[in-house]
Structure 1
Amino acid sequence: MSSAPGPHDSGRERDRDEEGRARNQRPRDGLGRPLPYGVEGVPRQPEGVVRAPGQSVAEAQALLDAGRPFHAHEVFEDAWKSGPEGERGLWQGLAQLAVGLTHSARGNTKGGARLLLRGAGAIGDWSSRCGEEKPYGIGVAALVSWAEALAEELERESVPVDAAARAPRLRG
C-alpha cells in the first residue's frame, strides 16, 4: 500500500470564502486553466454579482473580445442565477456558447463543438418559445449561425481556435 499523499493531502488548507464555502483561489490563465499557486494569472471574475441584463451582455462581450470566454461564461452564470426564472434558458445557453469557445481554444475541439451546438439549441429554443428575437439586443439568430458554423469547422478540422479572433458578436 502506498503512503504517498493524496490530492487533498498537500498540507494546504482549502480555499474558502467568507461564508466558509470551498473556493479554489489558484490563479488562472486567460482560458480559465488553473496555474500553480504563486504564479500571476489573469484577474478572476467575481462570483455572484448581480448585474442588469445589458451590463451582463456588455461585460461578457468585452471578455470575449479579450480572448477570455471562460470568464464571460462566469458573467452569464451570474445572470442565470440572479435573473428571472423565465430567462434561465437564454443565459444558460449563452454560458454554454462561452464554454464551447473555451474548450475549442484549449484544444478540446470535439467537446467544444458539442457545447457550441448545445448552447445554440438552448438559445434558439428559448427565443422560439418566448418570441424574443433580440432579447437585450442579443442577436440570437446570428449567434446560432456562428455557433453552428464554428462547430462544423471544429469537427472538420480539429484544430484549436484563437478565442479572441473567433469571439462572437452578442449584439447584432
Structure 2
Amino acid sequence: MTDRDRTSDGKPQNARPRDALGRPLAYGEEGVEPLPEDLQLEPAEAITEGQRLFDHGHPFQAHEVFEAVWKACPPDERPLWQGLAQLAVGLTHLLRGNPSGATSLLKQGQSRIRHYEDEPPYGLDIDGLSSWADHLLTEIERDEPIPEPPAPRLRMP
C-alpha cells in the first residue's frame, strides 16, 4: 500500500489528476487543472465562473466553485449555494452514467433553490434552473441514453 498524498503540513489530500467529471486518473495522466483549495469568490464571480465551467463541460468543478461559496456565505444563503452545488453534481452523475445519483441530487438541488424563486438573488434564473432540472429528470425517467444534456443557464436572459 502506498502512502497517501499529503500537504506540507501533513493534511491528507489526493494529488491524482482528475478528468472533467472529477474522476481520478492514473498518476502521470493529464487531467483538468484543479481549482485552488482556498478558492474564495464573491457570489457574482462564482456565478460567472460556474457558468463558464458548465459551458465547457466541467460541472464537477462548477460544484466546487458553488461549494466554496456555500462554506463561506451567510447562513440564509447556504441553501441557495448548496442547491446550486447539488444541481452541478447531479449533472456530473448523469454524465458519469449514474441516473439514480443524478435523480437524487437534481431533486435535492431543485428543492433548495426553489426557496429563492420569489426574489432570485444575484440575477439567478431560479425558474429556468428548476425547468432545466425538470427536463433532465424527465429524460432520466425515459430510461434512454441522454447523448448531450444541456448545460444550465444560471442567470436570467
How many residues of Structure 1 are paired with residues of Structure 2 in the alignment? 156
CA drift of 1:19 comes to 3.7
Residues 107 and 160 of structure 1 are in contact (CA less than 8 Å); yes or no, is this contact kept in structure 2? no
CA distance in 1: counterparts of 2:17 and 2:135, whole angstroms = 33
Alpha carbons of 1:80 and 1:157: their partners in 2 closer, same or farther (altered >3 Å)? same
* Structure 2, unaligned runs of 5 or more: none
Determine helix, strand or coil for the equivalent of 1:157.
coil
Query: Is 1:76–2:66 an aligned residue pair?
Result: yes
- Asked which structure has the greater RCO (Cα within 8 Å, sep 6+), the reply is 1
Aligned residue for 1:96?
A: 86
CA drift of 1:87 comes to 0.5
Further displaced range: 106-115 or 85-94: 106-115
Residues 63 and 88 of structure 2 are in contact (CA less than 8 Å); yes or no, is this contact kept in structure 1? yes
Amino acid in the other structure paired with 1:147 = A
Q: Deviations over 1:37-72 (max 9, x none)?
A: 111111111123111100000001000000000000
Residues 114 and 130 of structure 2 are in contact (CA less than 8 Å); yes or no, is this contact kept in structure 1? yes
Q: TM-score, normalization: structure 2?
A: 0.93
Aligned residue for 2:155?
A: 171
Identity of aligned residues (%): 51
CA drift of 1:81 comes to 0.4
Q: Larger C-alpha radius of gyration, 1 or 2?
A: 1
CA distance in 1: counterparts of 2:130 and 2:40, whole angstroms = 26
Determine helix, strand or coil for the equivalent of 1:95.
helix
Residues 80 and 88 of structure 1 are in contact (CA less than 8 Å); yes or no, is this contact kept in structure 2? yes
Q: TM-score, normalization: structure 1?
A: 0.85
* Structure 1, unaligned runs of 5 or more: 1-8
Q: Deviations over 1:78-116 (max 9, x none)?
A: 000011111000000000000000000111112112211
